[in-house]
Amino acid sequence: MTAAAEGNIDKATVEGFGEEWNAFDQMAMTADEHERMASDYFSVFPFDKLPANAEGFDLGCGSGRWAAWVLPKVGLLHCIDPAKAALDVARRRMGDDPRARFHNEGVDTIPLAEESQDFGYSLGVLHHIPDTVAGLKQCVKRLKPGAPFLVYLYYRFDNRPAWFRGVWRASDLLRRGICRLPFPVRKGVTNVLAGAVYWPLARTAALGEKMGARVSVIPLSHYRDKSFYTMRTDALDRFGTRLEHRYTRAEIERMMLDAGLTDIRFREAEPFWVACGIRA
């Protein structure tokens, strides 16, 4: 464990996400875009199999953008995040909804009893902690047998050609420099990247799609139906974060099995990789 780590969290990464969610609290996202994005992430999640008034948790809730979408569908949702600044944003978003509980904790101090939860999810979080495998196991321990867990982990471009992976490696060198800048500079630089890289590629993909072209080969084509606000958010998320891991689909499946999940289903479209498993 490095000096920057405290338990299974990286302090600089946690601080960065607190700053990010204060800058982009997601309240400017339209209801339509929010619905489309949430529906994509939860497309393999069995809401229809949850018990009435189900109790579950959002590990690494950030701004609460996914929690706000899940909350009306369940009885109680525990919103957990080690960044107090981020948790404050989530609290403001959900107001005084009695179905929401807020916990300023990390993945190794989840304040829920083992085998107590009807469901859980962690989207875009566990690849930003020092030990993803240990974090996943801590989440699964909180689930009742038969309860589903949804996870989104950055992919290692295992379903992409070699040139695509080369583009990512070049961009990762850029990330390693940008993520160490002071936050105002980091935000400014990633705003420029959103405008100069994300937006042109996304709009090119959108135009190509209208013309009947196969646009999935275009980097950042996933953003072709996203707003510039989302592009700015994700550019900061992608290039402004200190710690990230990436995994192949096979590695994620093995990690989920080892953590005690079965009946694993992957979403077969972007974002890659989203998967849901059932606590054995």
Q: Average of pLDDT values for 203-227? A: 95
Tell the residue number behind the tokens 């999935």, with chain if given.
216
* Residue 93 near residue 68, CB atoms below 8 Å: yes
Which amino acid does the sequence have at 148? P
CB 118 within 8 A of CB 145: no
Question: What is the reported pLDDT for 6?
Answer: 63
Contact 179, 241 (CB under 8 A): yes
Mean pLDDT of 109-120: 98
Question: Using one digit for the tens of pLDDT, what is the confidence trace for 156-202?
Answer: 999 999 999 999 999 999 999 999 999 999 999 999 999 999 999 99
pTM over 0.85, yes/no:
yes
Query: What does pLDDT average to over the chain?
Result: 95
Of how many residues is the chain composed?
A: 280
